[in-house]
Amino acid sequence: MLRYLFGPGKNEEHVNPRLVAAWSGPDYLSSLAPPLRPSGRHDVRNLARLLEQPVRAGRNPPQKFVWHASVRNHITDRILSDSQWAHIATEMVAAVGIAPHGDPDAVRWVAVRHAHDHIHIVATLVRQDGATVWAWNERLKAQTAARDLEQRYGLHQVGPVDRTSHRRPTAAEQNKTRRQRRPEIPRDRLRREVRATAAAATDENDFISRLQAAGVLVRLRYSTIHPDEVTGYAVGLPDHRTSTGDTVWYGGGRLAPDLTLPQLRRRWEPGPGTMPRVNAQDPGRPRHQYRSTVFRQATAAADEGAHHLAAQRDTDEDGIAALAEAAADVLASTARAFEGRKGGPLTNASETFDRAARETHWRHPGRLHPATIQLRSMSRLISTVGRLTNEDDAVAALQLVLRLSMIADNLANLRDAQKRIHQAQAARQAAESLRAITEASRSLPAVQRTAAPPPTPPRQGYPKGRAV
C-alpha cells in the first residue's frame, strides 16, 4: 500500500507524494517521511516497519490488519492546505473509532497526499497496547464526519445517507464484465429488466411470467415456517455463471431497495379507489393510432400529476410519494417502448428518475389522487402496445416525456424540502435529461419502423422448487 501511495501511480498521476499527518503528531512528520532513493523512488520500508510494530507485538492480531480510506473533495471545492488535510485526517480516524482524540495507545496511522483534491489514510488495526481494533460501521461513521467537515470548511454539501441508492457493481463484477467482453454489467442489466417488468406487471404471477419470457432465470425463496409461502426471489442470466458453473443470482434487494418482493407487492396493491378501465382497442382501428391515444392519455395524467405535485408538495408527502412512483413506472415503460431492451438515453434518465422517486420507508397513502391511479394503469398499458413504429407515436410519446420532466422538477422541490440532497439532485438531473431528449428528438427524422415485440405470455402460477 505504501509503495503504491508513494509511487508514481498507474498513469504517473501521483505528484509530490508526502505525509501530511501521522499518529505521532506534526512534530515527527519529517522523521517518518520515506527518504528518496538514488532512483528517485521513496524508500517506505522504515515507515512500514513502524506501522507494523504494534501488529507484531499484539495479542492475536488479525490476518488482515491494514485499514485504508481515501477522502476526496468535490471538483468545485477550493484546494486545501496540507495542515487542513491533516486536521481532516485526524477527525476521520477519531470518528471511526480507531484513533480517538487524546488516546496515546491508539493504532498507528498516516495520511498521504499525492494530489491536490484528496488524501489516503492508512492504519494498522492493532493498538499500541496490543489490543485489536475492529472498525465497526466505519463507512457510516466516516460519512457522518465528512458531512460535518463539509460545513466547517465551507465545502460542497454531499448530503446525508438516505439508503435509497441501489448497489453499484463491485470491482470484481466490472473486471469480469471486461474479461468476458459483455456489453453491460449483469447486475445493471437485471435491475433494468426487473424494473421494467415490475412497471408492466399486475401481480406476482404476471411478474414471474414476464421475466421468464424475457429470458431471465428466476429462483423463488420460500418461508421456513410456512413452506408454501413465497418470501423473496432472485434473478440471474443463463450465460452468467461462476467458475464452477453455478448461476450467479441477485436477490431483488441486491438490485435496488425498492425491488424486494414486499416492496413490489405493495406496488401491485390496487390501493383505495378504483383502477380505471382503459378502452380496449377497436379491432378495426390501426394499432399505431391506438398506441398514440394511449400516450396522449398518459400525457394528460402526467400533466395533472405535475400540477398536483407542485401545489401539494408540503402537505401530502405519502400521496406525492405514490404519484412519483407511478410516474417512474410510466417512464420505465416509455423507455422500453422507445429503446427496447438494450436501453439508451431515455432508459438512463428513467434510472435516474427512479432514484429520485424512491422512499426511505414504506408509504401508506390514503385515497390515491386520480392522476396516480391513471398513471399506474398507463404504465401497464404502455408496456402492452409495443415499440414505437412511426412519427405519430414518437410525437405522442415525446409529449409524455416532457410532462414527466415537469414531475421531476416538482419532485426535486419536494426532496429539497425534505433535505434529501441526493434525491433532489437525481430529480433535477432526470428533468434535464428528459428535456434534452425531447429537444434532440424533435430534430430527428420519423422513427424507423421496427418489428413488434413478441406477445406477452399467458399468466401462470410460479412453480415451487428450483430455478425456472
Distance CA(35)–CA(172), nearest Å, equals 35
Q: Return the pLDDT at 311.
A: 79
| pLDDT class of 465 with cuts at 50, 70, 90 | very low
| pLDDT class of 277 with cuts at 50, 70, 90 | very low
Residue found by looking up cell 405522442 in the block: 396
Q: Return the pLDDT at 73.
A: 93
Residue 153 pLDDT more than 50?
yes
Q: Return the pLDDT at 343.
A: 85
| pLDDT class of 132 with cuts at 50, 70, 90 | very high
| pLDDT class of 420 with cuts at 50, 70, 90 | confident
Spacing of C-alpha 437 from chain mean position: 22
Give the domain ranges of the chain. Answer: 2-153, 171-263, 287-442
Q: Return the pLDDT at 155.
A: 92
Contacts of 114 (CB under 8 A, 6+ apart): 5, 6, 9, 13, 14, 15, 16, 17, 18, 120
Each residue's pLDDT tens digit, 214-241: 999 999 999 888 888 999 999 999 999 9
Residue 466 pLDDT more than 60?
no
Q: Return the pLDDT at 450.
A: 39
Distance CA(123)–CA(103), nearest Å, equals 15
Instruction: Tally DSSP H helices, then E strands, for the chain.
Output: 16, 7
CB 33 within 8 A of CB 110: no
The chain-wide mean pLDDT, for the chain, equals 84
**% pLDDT > 90, the chain:** 49
Per-residue DSSP letter, 447: P
| pLDDT class of 278 with cuts at 50, 70, 90 | very low
Which of 34-48, 284-298, 376-390 is least confident?
284-298
| pLDDT class of 365 with cuts at 50, 70, 90 | low
Q: Return the pLDDT at 33.
A: 93
Calculate ∠ Cα 84-85-86, nearest 5°.
Answer: 90
Mean pLDDT calculated for residue range 18-41? 92
Each residue's pLDDT tens digit, 291-336: 888 899 999 999 998 988 887 655 667 778 888 999 999 999 999 9
Each residue's pLDDT tens digit, 163-211: 677 777 888 888 888 998 888 899 999 999 999 999 989 889 999 999 9
Residue 279 pLDDT more than 70?
no
Q: Which helix (H) or strand (E) holds 231?
A: strand 230-236
End-to-end CA distance of the chain: 45
Mean pLDDT calculated for residue range 74-103? 95
Distance CA(330)–CA(327), nearest Å, equals 5
Of 68, 73, 54, 231, nearest to 127 (Cα)? 54
Which of 32-46, 82-96, 207-221, 429-443 is least confident?
429-443
Helix, strand, or coil (residue 246): coil
| pLDDT class of 276 with cuts at 50, 70, 90 | very low
The correct answer on CATH 1.20.1260 for the domain covering 287-442 is yes
Edge-to-edge strands, sheet with 217-222: 217-222, 230-236, 250-251
Cell of 256: 435496488
Q: Return the pLDDT at 456.
A: 41
Contacts of 315 (CB under 8 A, 6+ apart): none
Which of 260-269, 280-289, 373-382 is least confident?
280-289
What beta strand segments (E) does 325-412 contain?
none
